[in-house]
Structure 1
C-alpha cells in the first residue's frame, strides 16, 4: 500500500497554505463557512495537496490532507457542479490514507466515487486528473483484500483510464509515466519503455510544475525496473 499512495502524483501548485495564517485560523475560517469563494477554496485545496506531497512526516501529511479535505468539502457545499471540488477531495482522501493506512478501502471507495463525479462534470480537469488518478489507483491496489466487497488491482481498467487521460491531455508527462507503470505491471516492457521515453521528452517543458521532481523520481524508478526486467 505504501507504493500505491506514493505514486498518487497529483499536480498542485503554490506556497504552503499555512503561510499567511496559523492552522487554527484556517480551520476556523473553513469550519465556520466564512466568505471563501469557490476559486479560493479550490486554490487552498490545491496548495494543501502540494504541501502534503512534499511533506516527509506522516503526521504532516495527515494534517495537510485533513485541512485540504475540509477546503474541498466546503467547495462541494458551495459549488456541487465544480469538478475541481470532487477532484481535490479524492486527492486528499488518498493523501490521508498514505499516512493512515487503516481503513484504506473506505478511502478507495470515496476516491472512486468522487472521481467518477468529477469526470461526469469535466473529464479534462487538471489534464484529465481523475482518469489519471483512477488509473494509478487500479494499477497499484493490492491483488487481494480481506473484505468480501473490497476493491482490488485491475490493470485492464487502469489502462482504460490512462489511455483516456492521454487522449484528453497527451502533452502532460505524468499521464505517460502512469501508463508506463501500468504497462510494466502487465509485462508489456517495450510499450512501457515507449511511454517512459515520451514522458521524458515532454518533461523539460514542465519544469515549473510542482510535481516535476516527483516525476523525475518516478522516471528513475521505472528505468531501474525496466533495466532489471530486460537484463
Structure 2
C-alpha cells in the first residue's frame, strides 16, 4: 500500500487538475454564450425601454464579473443607444466612462470606437463639434480603432472618419476626397450595411459627383426596400430619398 501511495496521489492530483480545467472551460463557455445572447438582444432591440433593459442586465453581469472588458464595452454600447433615443447627454458620459474602463483593462478596437463615437456625439449635442478639443481625441481614437480592426460595427471606423471629414470645414481638416476614400472603404468592408451607402452618397453629392451619388442611393434604397419596423433604417431610407430628390434631373435617369 505504501509503495502505491505516490502513484495514487499523482492520479488524484491529475484528476483534480482536469476537473478544475473542465469547470473553467464550462465557465468560459457560459460567459461567451451570455455575451452572444446580449449581442443578439442588442441587434433586435428597437425601443428605448429595450436598450435600458439590456443596460440593466449588463450591470448585473458586471457585478458578478467585475473587471471584464467585454461587459464594459457592451455597457458603453448600450448607453450610446440609449443616448441616441433619449437625447440625454448623461448617457454619452456613461458611454465614455465605460469605454475608458474597457480600454484600461484591455485596449481593443471596439473600446476606442465607442469612446470616440460618444465623445463626438456629446460634442455635437453641445454645439461644439468644431472645437479642436473634441475633434482631435475623436480622430485619434477612430484611427486607432481602424488600425486594430477596420471591420468592427460594419466598417464603423471608416464610416465615422468619412463623416467627420465631410462635416468639418476645410480649415479644421475637412476633405471630401478623404471622406469619399473612407466611406468607399466602409462600403467595401460591409456592402450590405445601408448607412455606409448613405454616407458615401452624401460625400459624392458634396463633390458634385451626382452620377456616383445616385448609384449609392439606389443601392441604399434597394437594401431598405422592405424595411417596415426598424426606426434607424427607416430614417436612413428617408434621408436617402430626400437626397435623391436634390440630385439634378439630368442625373436622375439610369446610366
Please classify the TM superposition score into its range, dividing by the shorter chain length. Answer: 0.7 to 0.9
- Specify the alignment match of 1:165 in structure 2: 186
> Where do 5+ consecutive residues of structure 2 fail to align?
1-41
- Specify the alignment match of 1:101 in structure 2: 127
RMSD: 2.9
**CA, structure 1 residues 221+52, in 2 after alignment: closer, same or farther (shift >3 Å)?**
farther
Whether 1:51 and 2:82 are equivalent positions in the alignment is yes
Task: Quote the offset at 1:36 in angstroms.
Answer: 4.8
Give the TM-score of the pair, scaled to structure 2: 0.69
CA offset digits 1:27-74 (Å, max 9, x no partner): xxx9x9x81522211221111122222234xxx1x2111111111111
Q: In the aligned structure 2, how far is the partner of 1:140 from the partner of 1:74? A: 29
Q: In the aligned structure 1, how far is the partner of 2:74 from the partner of 2:132? A: 28
Q: In the aligned structure 2, how far is the partner of 1:105 from the partner of 1:113? A: 12
Task: Quote the offset at 1:226 in angstroms.
Answer: 2.2
- Specify the alignment match of 1:37 in structure 2: 68
Q: In the aligned structure 2, how far is the partner of 1:229 from the partner of 1:74? A: 53
Residue 218 of structure 2: SS of its match in structure 1? helix
Whether 1:17 and 2:52 are equivalent positions in the alignment is yes
Instruction: Figure out how many residues of one structure are paired with residues of the other and give that number.
Output: 201
Task: Quote the offset at 1:205 in angstroms.
Answer: 7.1
**CA, structure 1 residues 196+37, in 2 after alignment: closer, same or farther (shift >3 Å)?**
same
CA offset digits 1:180-219 (Å, max 9, x no partner): 0000000011110110110111125777766323312321
- Specify the alignment match of 1:148 in structure 2: none
Alignment of 1:1-231 (within 5 A): 13=43, 14=45, 15-17=50-52, 35-56=66-87, 60=88, 62-80=89-107, 82-102=108-128, 104-144=131-171, 151-204=172-225, 211-226=232-247
8 Å Cα contact 1:52-1:95 kept in structure 2? no
Higher helix share: 2
Q: In the aligned structure 2, how far is the partner of 1:213 from the partner of 1:52? A: 19
Task: Quote the offset at 1:220 in angstroms.
Answer: 3.2
Give the TM-score of the pair, scaled to structure 1: 0.76
Structure (1 or 2) with the larger CA radius of gyration = 2
**CA, structure 1 residues 73+183, in 2 after alignment: closer, same or farther (shift >3 Å)?**
same
Task: Quote the offset at 1:140 in angstroms.
Answer: 1.1
**CA, structure 1 residues 49+210, in 2 after alignment: closer, same or farther (shift >3 Å)?**
farther
Q: In the aligned structure 1, how far is the partner of 2:228 from the partner of 2:133? A: 35
**CA, structure 1 residues 20+177, in 2 after alignment: closer, same or farther (shift >3 Å)?**
closer
**CA, structure 1 residues 206+127, in 2 after alignment: closer, same or farther (shift >3 Å)?**
farther
